[in-house]
Amino acid sequence: MPIYETVIGLEVHVHLSTKTKLFCSCPTTFGSEPNTNVCEICAGMPGVLPVLNRTAVEYAARAGMALNCTINNDSVFARKNYFYPDMPFNYQISQFERPLCEHGWLEIATGREKKRIGITRIHMETDAGKSIHSPSENKSCLDLNRAAVPLIEIVSEPDMRSPEEAAAYLKELHDIVVYLGITDGNMEEGSFRCDANVSIRPVGSDKLGTRTELKNLNSFRNVQRAIEYEVIRQQDLLEDGEAVIQQTRLYDSVRNVTQAMRDKEEAQDYRYFPDPDLVPVHIDPADLQHWKDTLPELPAARRERFMREYGLPEDDAVLLTSERALAEYLDQAVAAAPNIDPRKIANLMTGPLLRELNRTGASVQDTAMNPKALAQLAEIVQNGLISAKIAQDIFPDLCASGEMPEAYVKAKGMVQVSDTSAIDAAVAEVLKNNPAEVAAFKGGKTKLQGFFVGQVMRLMKGKANPALVNKALAEQLSK
């Protein structure tokens, strides 16, 4: 029985977040009343003349640059001919022989291993409309709001060797396109969709096995689960002496299986030809240079910088770069508190801030607590105005109200007591009230230190400076 190697290549469709569609001025807004964002052009009426949306070209080229591709200064739109009820033109406008971007790569990490996945091409194309089926009324309706919304398709080389690698690639790709600001990346609304091509072959073979293409993978988790299922299905076939058939299969996330949808068309069935209504897409080298110069710092570079400059452990760097807004929040908070170790600021983010965002379902942009406030909170803990415990306790309030922490704790009388005479008095009272524990402590049961600290804190309503409490205890117990 041979041992098999898994081979995966992904095709990812990304909605570009331009205001208008690819060839007309209809808005791309998601969730409008059906057929309110439609005109003659995107409805495919005969005789109309499409005009290319330049912002879509810019966004697509930015994706190409971020993915280390060669950008073709002249690329060509082609018609991909097939019939689909929700596609009024009877062809999709896409790119075939000369796509906008080619020959790129993306680095992924699974565990400590790093690996480059090749990007074959990125081309621009139009999305289709949507069929809405209503079995109860025995009819199907058509919504063309999404018709001709600009997409890019990012095609990888068959370089991934496990479902985990596929998931890592997809996550990294998602982070990059969202960082670039060219898409909202919303998987549930279909702004970021993935088809997975999967085959297996005996280990050591350099010939690719027959692939199936999996569709309907609408979350990172489903991509991984669908591939896992499919690999086992193909292995079972080969071991039973049967062949894998090249076909498109739909993933059913409820039953966690893939099912044959249709046998796969070959490219020539689409009769691709250059679109006679569209001139080649020309990109001015000066524009290209400008886009390159204004690319944001990408997730991988930012992760490295957070580890190098801020001294963050890798896990925290990964977490805090998982969203551009989160990473920028950290940068701003660190800049606002030059005397604080950035790791302390990062800890306030990975701990109480993310916890609070999870609890309230808010995103970091929505929280009322701005980076300056978080920086100030770290400062007043460091300078002893409040304890770390109080900082945790007041965090939800600060997030909701947006008040500055120093003003807040002063107004609420929560400022930590560093007045040694008050602490001395509280320590003396605790020792007087607990003679048995004092005797035990003096007899060697030093673990009771924590008990005494706790009692003093309780007496002082949690506001005593813990370092000073420990010091006073040591003094008085050694008498």
Nearest CA among 449, 419, 75 for reference residue 275:
75
Question: Is position 386 an interface residue for Zn ion (rule: CB under 5 A)?
Answer: no
CB of 24 to Zn ion, least distance (A): 3
Question: Is position 157 an interface residue for ligand ADP (rule: CB under 6 A)?
Answer: yes
Question: Is position 39 an interface residue for Zn ion (rule: CB under 5 A)?
Answer: yes
Residues 6 or more apart whose CB falls under 8 angstroms from that of 84 comprise: 128
Question: Closest CB to ligand ADP among 108 and 399?
Answer: 108
Distance of CA 181 to the CA centre of its chain: 12
Query: 124 forms bridges with which residues in the sheet?
Result: 152
Residues 1-40 as x/- pattern, contact with Mg ion by CB under 5 A: ----------x-----------------------------
DSSP string, 25-67: --B--TTPSTTSS--TTTTT-TT------HHHHHHHHHHHHHT
Question: Closest CB to ligand ADP among 205 and 446?
Answer: 205
- Which range of residues in 69-77, 150-158, 249-257, 315-323 is near ligand ADP by CB under 6 A? 150-158
Give the one residue of 42, 57, 67, 385 binding Zn ion; rule: CB under 5 A.
42
Question: Is position 211 an interface residue for ligand ADP (rule: CB under 6 A)?
Answer: yes
Question: Closest CB to ligand ADP among 243 and 467?
Answer: 243
* Strand-pair category, 273-274 with 78-81: antiparallel
Question: Closest CB to ligand ADP among 17 and 120?
Answer: 120
Nearest CA among 131, 182, 128, 133 for reference residue 154:
182
Task: Give which of Zn ion, Mg ion, ligand ADP, none residue 170 binds (C-beta under 5 to 8 Å, depending on kind).
Answer: none
Give the binding-site size for ligand ADP (rule: CB under 6 A).
17
Question: Closest CB to ligand ADP among 49 and 267?
Answer: 267
Give the one residue of 24, 63, 330, 431 binding Zn ion; rule: CB under 5 A.
24
Crossing angle between the packed helical segments 163-179 and 299-310, to the nearest 10 degrees: 90
Do the Cβ atoms of 8 and 194 come closer than 8 Å?
A: no
CB of 62 to Zn ion, least distance (A): 24
**SS3 category, 71:** strand
Task: Give which of Zn ion, ligand ADP, Mg ion, none residue 9 binds (C-beta under 5 to 8 Å, depending on kind).
Answer: ligand ADP
Crossing angle between the packed helical segments 449-459 and 420-433, to the nearest 10 degrees: 120
Question: Is position 197 an interface residue for ligand ADP (rule: CB under 6 A)?
Answer: yes
Question: Closest CB to ligand ADP among 156 and 191?
Answer: 156
Give the one residue of 156, 191, 224, 465 binding ligand ADP; rule: CB under 6 A.
156
Give the one residue of 150, 158, 299, 405 binding ligand ADP; rule: CB under 6 A.
158
Q: Distance of CA 299 to CAs 108, 113, 289, 306, Å? A: 11, 17, 21, 10
Q: Which element (helix H / strand E) includes 120?
A: strand 113-126
Task: Give which of Mg ion, ligand ADP, Zn ion, none residue 321 binds (C-beta under 5 to 8 Å, depending on kind).
Answer: none
CB of 118 to ligand ADP, least distance (A): 8
- Which range of residues in 176-184, 196-204, 421-429, 435-443 is near ligand ADP by CB under 6 A? 196-204
**Residue type for 275, please?**
D
Give dist(CA 75, CA 327) in Å, integer.
Answer: 35
Cβ burial, residue 435 (10 Å; 0-12/13-18/19+): exposed
- Which range of residues in 3-11, 55-63, 168-176, 339-347 is near ligand ADP by CB under 6 A? 3-11
Give dist(CA 412, CA 424) in Å, integer.
Answer: 24
Question: Is position 26 an interface residue for Zn ion (rule: CB under 5 A)?
Answer: yes
CB of 404 to Mg ion, least distance (A): 54
Give dist(CA 157, CA 118) in Å, integer.
Answer: 5
Give dist(CA 153, CA 124) in Å, integer.
Answer: 6
Question: Closest CB to ligand ADP among 7 and 312?
Answer: 7
Go through the chain and tell me how many residues it has: 479
Q: Within 10 A of 209 (CB to CB), how many other CB atoms are there? A: 20
* 63 phi and psi angles, rounded to 5 deg: -60, -45
Question: Is position 48 an interface residue for Zn ion (rule: CB under 5 A)?
Answer: no
Dmax of the chain from CA atoms? 100
* Strand-pair category, 113-126 with 150-156: antiparallel
The residue of the chain with the least Cβ separation from Mg ion equals: 11
Do the Cβ atoms of 41 and 24 come closer than 8 Å?
A: yes
Give dist(CA 118, CA 116) in Å, integer.
Answer: 6
Question: Closest CB to Zn ion among 24 and 349?
Answer: 24
The residue of the chain with the least Cβ separation from ligand ADP equals: 9
- Which range of residues in 23-31, 120-128, 183-191, 355-363 is near Zn ion by CB under 5 A? 23-31
Give dist(CA 391, CA 369) in Å, integer.
Answer: 13
CB of 7 to ligand ADP, least distance (A): 4
CB of 42 to Zn ion, least distance (A): 3
- Contact residues for ligand ADP, defined by CB under 6 A: 7-11, 155-158, 197-199, 208-209, 211, 213, 267
- Contact residues for Mg ion, defined by CB under 5 A: 11
- Contact residues for Zn ion, defined by CB under 5 A: 24, 26, 39, 41-42
